A and B are shown apart, each in its own frame.
Chain A
Amino acid sequence: ETGVTQTPRHLVMGMTNKKSLKCEQHLGHNAMYWYKQSAKKPLELMFVYSLEERVENNSVPSRFSPECPNSSHLFLHLHTLQPEDSALYLCASSQDGSSSGANVLTFGAGSRLTVL
Chain B
Amino acid sequence: GQNIDQPTEMTATEGAIVQINCTYQTSGFNGLFWYQQHAGEAPTFLSYNVLDGLEEKGRFSSFLSRSKGYSYLLLKELQMKDSASYLCAVRDRDYKLSFGAGTTVTVRA
A-side interface residues toward B, CB under 8 Å?
3-4, 40-43, 45, 90, 98-100, 102-110
Contact = CB atoms under 8 A, between A and B. Distances in A.
Given A3-B42, A107-B43, 19 more contacts: A4-B42, A40-B101, A41-B101, A42-B4, A42-B98, A42-B101, A43-B89, A43-B99, A90-B43, A98-B95, A99-B91, A102-B31, A103-B95, A105-B35, A107-B35, A107-B42, A107-B44, A109-B41, A110-B42
Interface centre among B31, B33, B44, B97, by most A CB within 10 Å?
A: B97
Given A40-B8, A99-B30, A99-B91, A105 B45 contact: yes
Interface residues of B, number: 25
Contacts of B45: 104-106
- Nearest 10 CB-CB pairings of A with B: A99-B95, A107-B42, A43-B99, A42-B99, A109-B42, A107-B43, A102-B48, A104-B45, A42-B101, A109-B41
A45 B97 contact: yes
Contacts of B4: 42
Contacts of B96: 45
B87 A104 contact: no
B58 interface: no
Contacts of B100: 42
Interface of B: 4, 8, 30-31, 33, 35, 40-45, 48, 50, 87, 89, 91, 95-102
A108 B40 CA distance: 11
11 contacts: A4-B42, A41-B101, A42-B102, A43-B87, A43-B99, A45-B97, A102-B48, A105-B97, A107-B43, A108-B42, A109-B41
B25 to A, nearest CB: 14
Nearest to B95: A99
Contacts of A103: 95
A3 B43 CA distance: 12
Contacts of A3: 42
Nearest to B40: A109
Contacts of B91: 99
A106 B42 CA distance: 8
